Amino acid sequence: MNLNDILSNPDLLPWLIPVGPLLAFFIIMLATNRAKMVPATSHEYGGHHPDYDGMKVPVVTLQSRILSVTVGMLGTLTAWVLSLITVSNAFGAQHFGEEVFGDRLNWLATGVGEFTMGVLVDPFTTVMLIMVPLAVTMIFIYSIGYMAHDPRQSRFFALISLFAGAMLTLVVADNLLLMFVGWEVMGLCSYLLIGFWFEKESAYKAAIKAFTTTRVADVIMLLGIAYLYASAGTLSFRDILYNEAMLEHLASTPAIILGGWGLSAAGLIGVFLIIGTIGKSAQFPLHVWLPDAMEGPTPVSAMIHAAAMVSAGVYAIIRMYPLFEAGGNPHAGEFTTPLMLMAIVGGFTALFSATIAVAQNDVKRVLAYSTISQLGFMMAALGIGAYIAAAFHLITHAFFKALLFMASGSVIHGMEHGEHHVHEHHAHDEHDEAHGHDDHHDHGHHFDPQDMMNMGGLRKTMPVTFWTFLLGGLSLSGFPLLTAGFWSKDEILADAWLGLTHGYGAPAFVFIMLCLAAFLTAFYTMRQLGLTFMGEPRTEEAAHANLGQGIVSFTMTLPLIILAFLAVVAGFAGVHPDFPLFGAIFSPEYNWFHHFVGPTLLHEPASIDFSIVPVLFSFGVALGGLGLGYWMYWRKPLEAGQPDPLVSILGTVHPVLKNKYYLDELYATLFIQPSQWFSRVVVSDFMDNGIIDGVLHLIARVFTWIGDLIKNLNVWLIDGVGDGIPELVAIFGTWFRRIQTGRIQQYMLLVVIAMIVIALIFAVSSGFLVQAAG
Amino acid sequence: MIPLWMYLLVAAALFCMGAYAVLARRNAVAILMGVELMLNAVNINLVGFWRYQQPLNMAGQAFAAFVFVIAAAEAAVGLAIIISVYRQRKSVIPDEADTLKG
């Protein structure tokens, strides 16, 4: 079978989608990432670190860096092109949903069965294949400029290629096991990329935090996968989720634990899988790693927040949704345990992290908490059965959040540029060309280029960034009618409103929480925009902030423009047909997104009737939040040195929000310190030093004793015999050598005596004497 | 005719005198002379036995002639050694040349 056959066969094509980035990872790591060693003080080593003085550090040569970037770009572009072909195949297919593209082969024989590995492209995968490779490609283009001054750019492209490859593997996987493989590889990549600037203590600590936090959830998710395999005998999505008999079987079997309390096997598996997602998609209470993940380079933040990592968590539960729903019907008020869990966790997280975001001053941290909040929207939507709305919000959120992160990265980059300018201006140091991001140990004063209090007035020097940031921010806020965020959020609220009008508890809870969260979202977005771009520059650095000229500036603004376009128009794919005016323009016959994604499920979710009330709520919270933000931060922009008006308004609540409800401290007291105590006292002192070392030392002592015994035997017997023989020879020699006097006449005398003796013996033995005597 | 035992007796006496000289004299030249005496005692024995026992076989005479040659060579070598030792030590006393003592 040649390549052409695979390319023309839509069933086989998905196999190739993750191959490009994965191959790029191996090529860069093994071939093109060539480094030479230079002193750490060399200007070639951009992010100079004082601890490395006197050491040699590897710096990738310019040629291999350009080659690595090219390889990485080719990998991701290949994935994008193949995805587009797959998507166009999917659009052209008849009865897509019922009929899907896919292929599978046997993977691991386990004795009782066989794990298969395969690919699956159904309508939901298709929309992911529109979003993920596009966002990834934008992030790659952006990284060319953003990482241009980093000495480890090759390594960055290798890791982010692996990240993209893992995400695409996860998206096209046709079973839970292969998906979990991609899931875990992404966990590894997030660890490596969050800790990419591992010279900084905060960066490697954040990496460890992200890795261990998600690991807690992943273990539980693996339990869910194992239980699912034990119950269903297969992990294939299609065999389980598109199979009514299987779902009924799982929903009617009592779970092995809590089964007596009415929990079904499907419910327990669902809870386990949702806990995995809570870790991966950073939902309360496992959200703590995501804000710290801001320590990584900004393209990584965009990757984690939009295209890959946290989307993967929500992707997984949207993918497994029929399992969660099995045995219940959220539209009829029957909520299963997993659905309730999602509704409560999602609704709570959405509001909870939105309140934290209000009080953050770090430009990326605000976005991090808004991501957690928006993922909460999706979880809550799934919890109340709004399957399509959750998927829709996943896609639109990916676009505007990737945009927001890259725009904030541009702001940071511009601030560093301004800081560098100021630094040069003051120091007149023309040789120092080091300006690695976030690495400013060599600069005398502590300046945080991510602190919004240091910004202000950036709209004048960075107009493209400002306008794209504004569009992304409005989309995030759900600015009515024009932005993608409005349409997807509105759909979630409409679903929740429908449940509320029927008098169900969960949708009512979700509706209230999401409305409040949406209000706060609009407010903190406006606050962020106002603090960053409005008014006059509050510091000298901000006054000089810009992206410069040339390839860096170009590669960093092009993705922003493309994504800003998508952040606006993506929403028009899912307009309700009955929506006044817009429904007639964009959905003359049916809601395209609903119509296309719906057949992913066995029972296509019913389209809900249009209601004006949730739309009015959407309008109200978005415009209210935006208006409040405008009134507080745009009308009278903050002057230099002026405190945030929010501090005095919120009073004692503000420190609580700013410190994220002290959850990090709580976790440190509850989990980290006890586990450190446990590892120190129990594991280290008692088990390691006491038991293991004790046993080992005992064994060592026994063998030492046996060794001594054998050594004594050796000395006494073997050495005795061995040394005794030469000693005897020596004693005899000492005695015998006295015969050698050196006096020739004595020798002769002895010869004569010997001669006489020999003659006598001869005479006696020959019988001569006897004869003579006789 | 003089009987054989008389020759043998003379040879034995000569040999004993030579042996005594070799063992008892202090002068190396004298020792060498003792050696010559012993060799010549052997020669007397050889010639005597040849004459009385195997007169047709020339081996006895031939041996005697060889012994002369050997004795001459031995005297030459021995004297050379003695002169060499004398040059080193200003002495011809073998007892004093005991470097090989163990």
Query: Nearest C-alpha of chain A: how many angstroms from B24?
Result: 8
Q: Do A740 and B95 touch (CB under 8 A)?
A: no
Q: Which residue has the tokens 């869990």?
A: A341
Give the nearest partner residue to A742 out of B23, B31, B98, using CB atoms: B98
Q: Stretch A509-524: mean pLDDT, rounded?
A: 89
> Which of A437-451, A573-587, B46-60, B66-80 shows the highest mean pLDDT?
B66-80
Q: Stretch A559-564: mean pLDDT, rounded?
A: 88
Q: How far apart are CA A601 and CA A599, in angstroms?
A: 5
Q: Mapping DSSP to helix (H, G, I), strand (E, B) and coil, where does residue A120 land?
A: strand
Query: Nearest C-alpha of chain A: how many angstroms from B26?
Result: 9
Band (A446; pLDDT cuts 50, 70, 90): low
Q: What is the mean pLDDT of chain B?
A: 89
pLDDT at position A442: 42
Q: How far apart are CA A683 and CA A722, in angstroms?
A: 52
Residues on chain A touching B95 (C-beta within 8 angstroms): 743, 745
Q: What is the mean pLDDT of chain A?
A: 83
The DSSP element (H or E) to which A255 belongs, if any, is none
Q: Do A740 and B23 touch (CB under 8 A)?
A: no
Q: How far apart are CA A366 and CA A341, in angstroms?
A: 26
pLDDT digits 0-9 by tens, A360-417: 888 888 888 998 999 998 989 888 888 888 889 998 988 888 889 888 888 888 888 8
Q: Which amino acid is at A510?
A: V
Q: Do A742 and B97 touch (CB under 8 A)?
A: yes
Residues on chain B touching A745 (C-beta within 8 angstroms): 22-24, 31, 94-95
Q: Stretch A532-555: mean pLDDT, rounded?
A: 77
Residues on chain B touching A741 (C-beta within 8 angstroms): 98, 101-102
> Which of A83-97, A492-506, A699-713 shows the highest mean pLDDT?
A699-713
pLDDT at position A361: 85
> What is the sign, positive or negative, of the torsion defined by CA atoms of A114, A115, A118, A123?
positive
Band (A443; pLDDT cuts 50, 70, 90): very low
Q: Is the pLDDT of residue A550 over 70?
A: no
Q: How far apart are CA A290 and CA A306, in angstroms?
A: 12
pLDDT at position B102: 61
DSSP letters of A21-82?
HHHHHHHIIIII--EEEEETTSTTSSS--GGGTT-EEEEE-HHHHHHHHHHHHHHHHHHHHH
| Number of neighbouring beta carbons within 10 Å of residue A188 | 14
Q: Do B100 and A749 touch (CB under 8 A)?
A: no
Q: What is the pTM of this model?
A: 0.75
- A517 closest CA partner among A657, A323, A273, A352: A352
* Structure token pair of residue A747: 């020798």
Q: Interface pTM (ipTM) of the complex?
A: 0.82
Q: What is the DSSP letter of A198?
A: T
Q: Mapping DSSP to helix (H, G, I), strand (E, B) and coil, where does residue A329 land?
A: strand
Q: What is the DSSP letter of A360?
A: -
pLDDT digits 0-9 by tens, A603-627: 777 777 788 888 888 888 888 888 8
**A468 CA to centre of own chain:** 26
Q: Which residues of B touch A (CB under 8 A)?
A: 19, 22-24, 31, 94-95, 97-102
Nearest CA in chain A to B31: A745
pLDDT at position A768: 73
- The burial of A144, by beta-carbon neighbours within 10 Å (0-12 exposed, 13-18 middle, 19 or more buried), is given as buried
Q: Is the pLDDT of residue A10 over 60?
A: yes
Q: Which residue has the tokens 């047909």?
A: A577
Band (A440; pLDDT cuts 50, 70, 90): very low
Please report, in angstroms and rounded to a whole number, the separation of the first and last CA atoms in chain B.
54
Specify whether the CB–CB gap between A396 and A511 falls below 8 A: no
pLDDT at position A736: 86
Q: Do A752 and B97 touch (CB under 8 A)?
A: no
Q: Stretch A49-75: mean pLDDT, rounded?
A: 78
| CA-to-CA separations, A753 to A749, A756, A758, in angstroms, rounded | 6, 5, 9
Nearest CA in chain B to A733: B102
Question: Burial letters for A556-585: b for 16+ Cβ neighbours within 10 Å, e otherwise?
Answer: bbbbbebbbebbbebbbbbbbbebeebeee
Q: How far apart are CA A547 and CA A487, in angstroms?
A: 33
pLDDT digits 0-9 by tens, A322-342: 888 887 777 777 788 888 888
Q: What is the DSSP letter of A454?
A: G
Q: Is the pLDDT of residue A165 over 50?
A: yes
> What is the sign, positive or negative, of the torsion defined by CA atoms of A32, A36, A37, A43?
negative
Q: Which amino acid is at A505?
A: G
Q: Do B97 and A741 touch (CB under 8 A)?
A: no
pLDDT digits 0-9 by tens, A29-43: 888 877 777 776 666
pLDDT digits 0-9 by tens, A253-310: 877 777 667 778 888 888 888 888 888 888 888 888 888 888 888 888 888 887 788 8
Nearest CA in chain A to B101: A742
Q: Do A742 and B19 touch (CB under 8 A)?
A: no
> Which of A6-15, A147-156, A200-209 shows the highest mean pLDDT?
A200-209
Q: How many helices (H) and strands (E) does chain B have?
A: 3, 0
Residues on chain B touching A737 (C-beta within 8 angstroms): 102
Q: Do A742 and B31 touch (CB under 8 A)?
A: no
Q: Do B97 and A737 touch (CB under 8 A)?
A: no
Q: Mapping DSSP to helix (H, G, I), strand (E, B) and coil, where does residue A639 land?
A: coil
Q: How far apart are CA A759 and CA A765, in angstroms?
A: 10
| Number of neighbouring beta carbons within 10 Å of residue B8 | 16
Q: Widest CA span of chain B, in angstroms? A: 54
pLDDT at position A436: 44
Query: Nearest C-alpha of chain A: how many angstroms from B96?
Result: 8
